[in-house]
Amino acid sequence: AFPSAFAAADLGATSGRVMVGRVGPANLDLSEAHRFPNRPVQAGGSLHWDVLSLYQGVVDGLREAARSGGVTSVGVDSWAVDYGLLDADGRLLGNPYHYRDDRTQEAVPRVWEAVPAEELYRTTGLQHLPFNTVFQLGAARGSAQLAAARTLLLVPDLMVHWLTGTVGAELTNASTTALLDAATGTWSGELLGRLGIDPGLFPAIRRPGDVAGPLLPEVARATGLAEGTPVVTVASHDTASAVAAVPADRPGFGYVSCGTWSLAGLELDRPVVTDASRAANFTNERGIDGTFRFLRNIMGLWLLTETLRTWAGEGLPSDLAPLLARAAEAPPFAALVDPDAPEFLAPGDMPARITAYCRRTGQRPPADQGAMVRCILESLALAHRVALRTAAELSGRDLDVVHLVGGGSRNDLLCQLTADATGLPVVAGPTEATALGNILVQARAHGLVADHAAMRRLVADTQHLRHYRPSGDPHAWTAAAARVGLG
């Protein structure tokens, strides 16, 4: 059969892209129609997403997709938790906040006063992250903006709203708000009531594979796509799309979806919500087909990109490739940090924060740039190991392979270190797992791919994957981690 083309609008924390995927019975071929920067804006004392510029990037990308031959449908995904508010006329009320804005700090204890942390976890199954939507809404309490709001749309749902004029709340992303009941997969009226949040803000849940609606005529005109082109609901949480496309062929796999964040864990068919999983801060985010992502957020390559940004600002070398070569030569285990230490969340001078962390924990800070990069990558690999082992323990599963997908799978040293630290083979790739997951859910909705297993097989058969065998002594990692209390 002639391959059908699908457009995936995939918004990441540093850039957005529109990818076109051509899907046939034995092909899956991805090309980039358009890439555009995502530049958060600090204004009025807060950090915001420039969602109009992101939407413009999506429209520009769809125009390129139309030029390259048109598409059968369109899907949108992005990072999670952040939202725009619409007023009674359906207009956007202000720019959405960035999850790295620090205004939720004071809201967390107030939310927990209304609903204790244990109970919040028991109901939602969500790990505590200070920026979860529940805390952002806590911080917005009493604001004029929230009082005027009639509809809350997570970022991909906002894009879909502008593309189609419809409103809905896509399930996988809704599950990251900490307002969804883990057992039922619907908004928890009980939680909303106790938190004093208007339940009317939340649109009905949509599922991956549902059709959100056709492009608005003016959007079809602006992009050159055919009138009536459907926007298909995909797994709009980027991590859900990425994990949907993990090229695994058997159940015993762990994954690390590695980009700005490293999301490390397992795919389960039911949530694990126990005291132990709460203590370990493990989350149960929803995936496609009733699956759950049992994982922990690890600060990820953010540590490295902020480090490079700082160095560039200081006029120091900041090209990744030569720095990675120097890191590969640097002595192992010279210094290790907990990537999830709260001081690493906000934008800023990461090398200085890592140096301060090392001093505070009695370690000699990295002496040069190569050592700093090595410290970051080893610390991430160690965090991957701890998260994957803990996930396996808490869910009673055995792991025999780790799939590392996303932009981080391009980082050879990180892939090898992850294999070494976990003592497991690592299959690296695809880099564009998120866009592939987005496209494959659309292709399946159009009947081109039979089921989830067939989606994964298609990725495995068509995408470039690299294999890493564990090397060195895994006990060296245990010893190094124990030395700095990160076991």
CA distance 172 to 240: 7
Which window, 190-198, 256-264, 266-274, 326-334, contacts ligand LFR (CB under 6 A)? Answer: 256-264
Which window, 67-75, 139-147, 180-188, 258-266, contacts ligand LFR (CB under 6 A)? Answer: 258-266
The minimum distance between CB 238 and ligand LFR, in angstroms, equals: 5
Q: Does 135 bind ligand LFR (CB under 6 A)?
A: no
The minimum distance between CB 292 and ligand LFR, in angstroms, equals: 14
Phi and psi at 234, nearest 5°, equal -110, -175
Among 191, 232, 256, 263, binds ligand LFR (CB under 6 A): 263
Q: Which is nearer to ligand LFR, 6 or 261 (CB)?
A: 261
Among 261, 292, 302, 357, binds ligand LFR (CB under 6 A): 261
The minimum distance between CB 1 and ligand LFR, in angstroms, equals: 34
Size of the site for ligand LFR (CB under 6 A): 12
Q: Which is nearer to ligand LFR, 79 or 162 (CB)?
A: 79
Q: Which is nearer to ligand LFR, 39 or 67 (CB)?
A: 39
For residue 355 the two structure tokens come to: 């140096």
CA distance 77 to 71: 17
For residue 313 the two structure tokens come to: 């600002």
Which positions from 275 to 314 touch ligand LFR by CB under 6 A, shown as an x/- string? ----------------------x-----------------
Let me know: does 387 contact 343? Beta carbons within 8 Å. Answer: no
Q: Does 255 bind ligand LFR (CB under 6 A)?
A: no
The minimum distance between CB 40 and ligand LFR, in angstroms, equals: 13
Q: Which is nearer to ligand LFR, 263 or 455 (CB)?
A: 263
Q: Which is nearer to ligand LFR, 99 or 311 (CB)?
A: 99
Which window, 14-22, 34-42, 253-261, 322-330, contacts ligand LFR (CB under 6 A)? Answer: 253-261
CA distance 4 to 445: 12
Which positions from 455 to 474 touch ligand LFR by CB under 6 A, shown as an x/- string? --------------------
Residues 94-113 touching ligand LFR, rule: CB under 6 A, are 99
What does the DSSP assignment read for 125-186? -PPP-TTSHHHHHHHHTT-HHHHH--EEEEHHHHHHHHHHS---EEHHHHTTSS-B-TTTSS
**398 catalytic, yes or no?**
no
Kindly tell me the sign of the dihedral angle through the C-alpha atoms of 184, 185, 188, 189. negative
CA distance 226 to 155: 25
Which positions from 58 to 97 touch ligand LFR by CB under 6 A, shown as an x/- string? ---------------------xxx----------------
For residue 209 the two structure tokens come to: 């594979």
Phi and psi at 85, nearest 5°, equal -110, 135
Let me know: does 268 contact 291? Beta carbons within 8 Å. Answer: yes
What does the DSSP assignment read for 349-389? -HHHHHHHHHHHTT-PPP-SHHHHHHHHHHHHHHHHHHHHH
Q: Which is nearer to ligand LFR, 259 or 271 (CB)?
A: 259
Q: State CA 135 to chain mean position distance.
A: 18
The minimum distance between CB 305 and ligand LFR, in angstroms, equals: 13
Among 223, 239, 241, 310, binds ligand LFR (CB under 6 A): 239
- Partnered with residue 150 across adjacent β-strands are none
Q: Does 187 bind ligand LFR (CB under 6 A)?
A: no
User: Residue 286: left (phi > 0), alpha (psi -120 to 50), or beta?
Assistant: beta
Which positions from 188 to 227 touch ligand LFR by CB under 6 A, shown as an x/- string? ----------------------------------------
Of these residues, 101, 157, 238, 420, which one is catalytic? 238
Kindly tell me the sign of the dihedral angle through the C-alpha atoms of 253, 302, 44, 95. negative
Let me know: does 104 contact 136? Beta carbons within 8 Å. Answer: yes
Residues in touch with ligand LFR (CB under 6 A):
79-81, 99, 237-239, 259-261, 263, 297
**Catalytic residue ranges:** 238
